[in-house]
Homo-oligomer: A and B are copies of this chain.
Amino acid sequence: MTSLPNRAESPGSTVRIAVDAMGTDSHPGYEVRAAMQALDLRDMHITLVGDEKKIRAYLAKGLADEKRLSILHADEVVEMHDPPAASVRRKKNSSMNVAVRLLKDGKVDAVLSAGNTGAMVCSTSLNLGLLPGVERPGIGVPIPTRRGWSLLIDVGSNIDVKPIHLLQYAVMGAEYWKLINNVPNPAIGLLNVGEEESKGTELLRGVHALLDRSHLNFTGNLDGKDLYHGNCDVVVCDGFTGNVALKVSESLASTFGYFLKRELGRTPLRRLGALLAAGAFKDIKEQTDYAEKGGAPLLGVNGTVMICHGGSPVKAVRNAIAGVHDLVSNRLNEKIAKVITEEMRFLSEG
């Protein structure tokens, strides 16, 4: 590991964030711009981890606050096709793993990466461990609905699940949602193939029973057909199902955009119509823009960890960095550890 030549001493109250600068499809340019913009939003210190020469080239184009922004050189990059577990061992000097070890060593308070999600889950789980009482980490992703936003958790951190894992996703997702949206008692839904309690696999019936007994505001099974109606704040599922639901939605949304563009472009009249109605398309895009929401927290690891989509625009990374700051300053993980411990004790007594 390289030393920290440019790292400013952070005062105790300043949140320190390590950003893997080599994660987005447009790295490190997007990460550099996002970091500079994020510094305007929050009082914090950012360490950009990655190819120092490339990072400096982008920094030179903007105004960088050297006291609040450092660079830590890392030789390697975890690629999207790298096997997650192996990448932790074989690419010790990758920007992702160096950034995660900064958190492990207490040199920063949080870490963010838009790189290989599986590798990030492995690296943080192995290096940081899990919060007391947590059995599996989960990735929560905000999804746009008719009534605002919901959190879908887990979307792929863990595909080999037990009922207790999904119960814990619900607890962690609820704490996260309370914190970022000021919702006192988030409504929890369990993604299933129907609303009736008896629906779904044995696993899901087990989760249903646990959620029913818990202190959570559990509203029952959520049929897939209602996911985007927004009746729940937090929607719980296993990582395989959540990953498929999220990616199939991405696929459908982009295909719908493709159809719209193709069909609206076919005649001059349609093109004129599209021009006059452009404000509507812009408004829909804004209302459903995940970039506004930033990244997806990896909840349950012993450290504040944010994951971004590899295709994130600068705005998404910027907002994710600001979001990470807020999770640290509001001590989300302390709250999660406390509530998980209480809930597990309560359920084991019942």
A280/B270 in contact, CB under 8 A: yes
- Nearest-neighbor residue (CB-CB) of A281 within chain B: B263
CA distance A197 to B125 in the complex (A): 24
Given the interface pairs A241-B240, A247-B223, the reply to whether A276 lies near B273 with Cβ below 8 Å is yes
CA distance A200 to B118 in the complex (A): 12
Q: Is A226 an interface residue, CB under 8 A from the partner?
A: yes
Given the interface pairs A245-B244, A266-B280, A280-B264, the reply to whether A255 lies near B146 with Cβ below 8 Å is yes
Q: Is A346 an interface residue, CB under 8 A from the partner?
A: no
Given the interface pairs A201-B159, A224-B251, the reply to whether A240 lies near B270 with Cβ below 8 Å is no
Would you give the shortest CB distance from A158 to chain B, in whole angstroms? 11
A244/B241 in contact, CB under 8 A: yes
Q: Is A127 an interface residue, CB under 8 A from the partner?
A: no
List the B side residues contacting A225 at CB < 8 Å: 247-248, 250-251
B240/A264 in contact, CB under 8 A: no
CA distance A329 to B145 in the complex (A): 45
CA distance A270 to B277 in the complex (A): 4
List the B side residues contacting A198 at CB < 8 Å: 83
Among the listed B159, B245, B272, which residue makes an inter-chain contact with A245, where contact means beta carbons less than 8 Å apart?
A: B245
Most buried by B among A81, A245, A251, A288: A251
Q: Is A260 an interface residue, CB under 8 A from the partner?
A: yes
Number of interface residues of A (CB under 8 A): 62
CA distance A348 to B160 in the complex (A): 28
Among the listed B159, B244, B277, B278, which residue makes an inter-chain contact with A244, where contact means beta carbons less than 8 Å apart?
A: B244
Given the interface pairs A200-B159, A224-B247, A244-B224, the reply to whether A256 lies near B256 with Cβ below 8 Å is yes
List the B side residues contacting A223 at CB < 8 Å: 247
B201/A228 in contact, CB under 8 A: no
Among the listed B159, B279, B283, which residue makes an inter-chain contact with A193, where contact means beta carbons less than 8 Å apart?
A: B159
B255/A284 in contact, CB under 8 A: no
Among the listed B228, B256, B279, which residue makes an inter-chain contact with A267, where contact means beta carbons less than 8 Å apart?
A: B279
List the B side residues contacting A224 at CB < 8 Å: 243-248, 250-251
Would you give the shortest CB distance from A206 to chain B, in whole angstroms? 14
List the B side residues contacting A239 at CB < 8 Å: 193
Given the interface pairs A224-B243, A260-B280, the reply to whether A255 lies near B159 with Cβ below 8 Å is no
B253/A193 in contact, CB under 8 A: no
- Nearest-neighbor residue (CB-CB) of A253 within chain B: B252
Most buried by B among A237, A246, A259: A259
Q: Which residues from chain A sit less than 8 Å from chain B, CB to CB?
A: 81, 83, 145-146, 156, 159-160, 191, 193, 196, 198, 200-202, 223-229, 237, 239-241, 243-256, 258-260, 263-264, 266-267, 269-270, 272-281, 283-284, 287-288
14 A-B pairs with CB atoms under 8 Å apart are A146-B259, A159-B193, A223-B247, A224-B244, A225-B251, A237-B244, A240-B241, A241-B241, A244-B245, A249-B252, A263-B279, A263-B284, A269-B276, A273-B274
Query: Sorted from nearest, which 5 A-B pairs have the closest CB atoms?
Result: A273-B276, A273-B277, A224-B247, A263-B280, A228-B255
